């Protein structure tokens, strides 16, 4: 689906949050690789599971058409600096819920971009009868966990030793959900 465009001015930065469009595919392909390389809080190492521009074009098309998908980007002028997706599961027994994911380029952390991407996604989900938003987050990703709690997500469970990071240690993943009852 498509969401309305919103403008923000926070900590001296102007940015827009809007639905992803076909023309964003190339930048999204690049920025995803960049963000994967900037943090260990994502699932992939830099360059793993690469999605090329054509792949993003397809994802954008699908997310635009499907009623329980939403693909948002945060743009500073014409530069994409973050994005989020809600992805529905198209089986009847899961038709009340969507999975949420978000990431922001490190240089743009702390401008409310993550929070506003999530806020816009929640507003869309609530307005479209989605009863549950779900996400997975690394237990050590305090900032993201705080953000999710602040916007109404609760901890549902813990996946033990779910990931091994570059220090060779195993880390737990927290499963969180937000319920629209």
3-state class (DSSP) for residue 176 = strand
Answer yes or no whether residue 79 interacts with ligand COA by CB under 6 A.
no
Q: Which of residues 148-177 bind ligand COA (CB under 6 A)?
A: 150
Number of residues that bind ligand COA (CB under 6 A): 21
- Within the chain, what is the greatest distance between any pair of CA atoms? 45
- The dihedrals phi and psi of 105, each to the nearest 5 degrees, come to -60, 135
How far apart are CB 48 and ligand COA at their closest, in Å? 15
Piece in contact with ligand COA (CB under 6 A), picked from 16-24, 34-42, 50-58, 158-166: 34-42
- Tally of CB atoms within 10 A around 76: 17
Q: Does 103 bind ligand COA (CB under 6 A)?
A: yes
DSSP state of 71: E
119 binds ligand COA (CB under 6 A): no
- Residue 76 CB, nearest approach to ligand COA (Å): 12
Is residue 62 close enough to count as binding ligand COA by CB under 6 A? no
DSSP 30-50: HHHHHHHHH-SSSSS-TTTT-
Q: Identify any residues that bridge with 133 across adjacent strands, giving them in sequence order.
A: 98, 178
Length of the chain: 181
Radius of gyration of the chain (CA): 16
Q: Residue 130 Cβ, how far from ligand COA at the closest point, in Å?
A: 19
- Contact flag: residue 113 with ligand COA (CB under 6 A): yes
Residues in contact with ligand COA by the rule CB under 6 A:
39, 41-42, 102-104, 109-115, 137, 141-144, 146-147, 150
């Amino acid at each position: 689906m498509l969401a309305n465009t919103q403008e923000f001015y926070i900590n001296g930065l102007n940015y827009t949050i809007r639905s992803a469009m076909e023309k964003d595919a190339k930048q999204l392909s690049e920025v995803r690789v960049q963000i994967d390389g900037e943090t260990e809080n994502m699932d992939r190492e830099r360059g793993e599971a690469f999605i090329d521009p054509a792949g993003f074009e397809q994802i954008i098309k699908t997310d635009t058409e499907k009623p329980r998908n939403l693909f948002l980007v945060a743009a500073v002028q014409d530069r994409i600096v973050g994005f989020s997706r809600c992805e529905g599961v198209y089986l009847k027994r899961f038709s009340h819920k969507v999975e949420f994911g978000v990431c922001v380029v490190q240089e743009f952390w702390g401008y409310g971009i993550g929070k506003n991407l999530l806020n816009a996604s929640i507003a869309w989900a609530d307005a479209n009868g989605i009863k549950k938003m779900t996400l997975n987050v690394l237990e050590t990703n305090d900032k993201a966990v705080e953000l999710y709690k602040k916007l109404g997500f609760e901890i549902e469970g813990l996946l033990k030793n779910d990931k091994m990071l570059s220090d060779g240690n195993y880390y737990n993943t927290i499963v969180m959900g937000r319920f629209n009852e």
